[in-house]
Amino acid sequence: MIRKKRKVKKYRGSRTCGGGSHKKRRGAGNRGGRGLAGGHKHKWTWIIKYEPDHFGKYGFKRHPSIVKDLETINVCELEELVLKNPDKFEKEGDKYIVDVTELGYEKVLGKGKVTIPMVVKAIEISEKAKIKIEEAGGEAIEL
């Protein structure tokens, strides 16, 4: 292999690599403390330049009682479940009845394609999911 730049041989084999006495590079005193020590003192200019948002707060946190953390499933996954084991789901005419809450989910999302007609029952159903289910000849019911 041809090198364009020569290998650096500087300080190879030297004991202190240009740091003077080996005692001088001991501990964290030579770097002004470990980590961000001195962020409000002697390293303040560094903080201002490279991490201006380090101190202080930004935004807000919603109260945990307001935050919904629903178990979700996509319509394509629902269809896959129905096609893999159709005997587990009731059939009303040509439509499969899928109660998502029995499967352990609460919300239906609209990712993927729907090719079979299904009556989907869930606590929440997204707008895209409703449209896709109805286009396939099915029904979306929110409980």
More confident residue, 125 or 18: 125
pLDDT at 12: 83
Residue 122 has pLDDT above 90, yes or no: yes
Arithmetic mean of pLDDT, 72-77: 95
Q: What global pTM score does this model have?
A: 0.58
Contacts with 96 (C-beta within 8 Å, 6 or more apart), sequence order: 82, 86, 89, 90, 116, 117, 118, 119
Per-residue confidence band for 127, with pLDDT thresholds at 50, 70 and 90 = very high
72-142 folds as Ribosomal Protein L15; Chain: K; domain 2 (3.100.10)
Predicted pLDDT at 126: 96
Asked if the model's pLDDT at residue 18 lies above 90, the reply is: no
Q: What is the pLDDT of residue 5?
A: 83
Mean pLDDT estimate for the chain: 92
| Per-residue tokens: 111 | 């990712």
More confident call, 68 vs 121: 121
What does the domain layout of the chain look like in residue ranges? 72-142
Place 13 in a pLDDT band, splitting at 50, 70 and 90: confident
Please tell me whether residue 45 adopts helix, strand or coil conformation.
helix
CB 75 within 8 A of CB 83: no
- Percent of the chain scored above 90 by pLDDT? 74
Q: Which residues pair with 141 in a beta bridge?
A: 121
Write the DSSP symbol of residue 119.
E
Q: 93-121: per-residue pLDDT in tens?
A: 999 999 999 999 999 999 999 999 999 99
Position 129 scores a pLDDT of: 95
The β-bridge relationship of strands 95-99 and 118-122 is parallel
